[in-house]
């Protein structure tokens, strides 16, 4: 049975992650207060040559409306590694006044695959006073980036007060899959959140079979 579960791990992970992201869309901690806010932000002096489409999206990251900035980050996320040159701008948007922009930027950084995002994403995850959905996005992105140096901070995130953050941290540790992830994942089997326990169990089974 466990071998069958391992076989379908990518599908199961996609279902779990997709469900979590849909839940965020309806239950974000500051959703109503943040939607469409007009709040100009300052653009840093970063000199990067970009294709026309990406340059336009970077301009969007600094639009006055927070909804426009979030949309631009979401579009860059869909471009994946091809948009890696925009990573410095997305890192900058991790400091956006809008939690939604910060979350979209954190998600995009995981998809673009540039390890220069690792340190700022770890700082986001360690900020327990920040928005939980941004921490959860940072956790998953760290897993997608797959750097072993992030295991300690992800293991610590398994103690986060928010279940969604713990769930994403468990998935992230499973994605990294180094031997030192085994102990924190085993501890997560006792989590009060069913999704966290499930993801930890799947990750441990994958480790056992590798």
Tell whether the torsion through CA atoms of 30, 32, 35 and 39 is positive or negative.
Answer: negative
pLDDT recorded at residue 41: 79
Ramachandran angles phi, psi of 65, nearest 5°: -85, 130
CATH topology of 1-30+114-210 equal to that of 35-113?
Answer: yes
pLDDT recorded at residue 210: 78
- How far apart (Å, rounded) are the C-alpha atoms in residues 153 and 162? 15
Average pLDDT per run of 10 along the chain, which is 210 residues long?
Answer: 50 49 48 58 78 95 96 98 96 96 98 97 95 98 98 98 98 97 97 97 92
Domain 1-30+114-210 in CATH 1.25.10.10? yes
Our CA angle for 103, 96, 132, nearest 5°, is: 40
Domain 35-113 in CATH 1.25.10.10? yes
pLDDT recorded at residue 7: 52
pLDDT recorded at residue 196: 97
pLDDT recorded at residue 143: 98
pLDDT recorded at residue 12: 55
pLDDT recorded at residue 47: 72
DSSP 34-63: HTT-B---PPP-------HHHHHHHHHTT-
Residue found under tokens 């986060």: 160
- How far apart (Å, rounded) are the C-alpha atoms in residues 138 and 154? 10
Q: Kindly list the domain boundaries of the chain, sorted by start residue.
A: 1-30+114-210, 35-113
């Amino acid at each position: 049975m466990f071998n069958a579960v391992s076989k379908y791990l990518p599908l199961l992970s996609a279902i779990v992650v997709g469900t979590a992201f849909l839940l965020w869309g309806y239950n974000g901690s500051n959703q109503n207060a943040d939607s469409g806010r007009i709040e100009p932000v300052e653009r840093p002096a970063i000199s990067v040559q970009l294709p026309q489409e990406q340059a336009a999206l970077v301009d969007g990251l600094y639009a006055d409306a927070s909804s426009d900035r979030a949309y631009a980050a979401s579009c860059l996320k869909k471009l994946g590694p091809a948009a890696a040159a925009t990573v410095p701008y997305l890192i900058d948007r991790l400091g956006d006044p809008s939690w939604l922009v910060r979350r979209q930027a954190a998600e995009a950084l995981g998809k673009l695959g540039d390890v220069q995002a690792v340190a700022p994403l770890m700082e986001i995850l360690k900020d327990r006073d920040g928005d939980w959905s941004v921490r959860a996005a940072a956790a998953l992105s760290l897993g997608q980036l797959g750097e072993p140096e992030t295991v300690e901070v992800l293991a610590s995130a398994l103690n986060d007060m928010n279940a969604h953050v713990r769930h994403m941290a468990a998935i992230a540790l499973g994605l990294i899959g180094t031997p030192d992830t085994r102990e924190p994942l085993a501890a997560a089997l006792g989590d009060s959140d069913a999704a966290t326990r499930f993801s930890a169990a799947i990750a441990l089974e994958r480790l056992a079979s590798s």
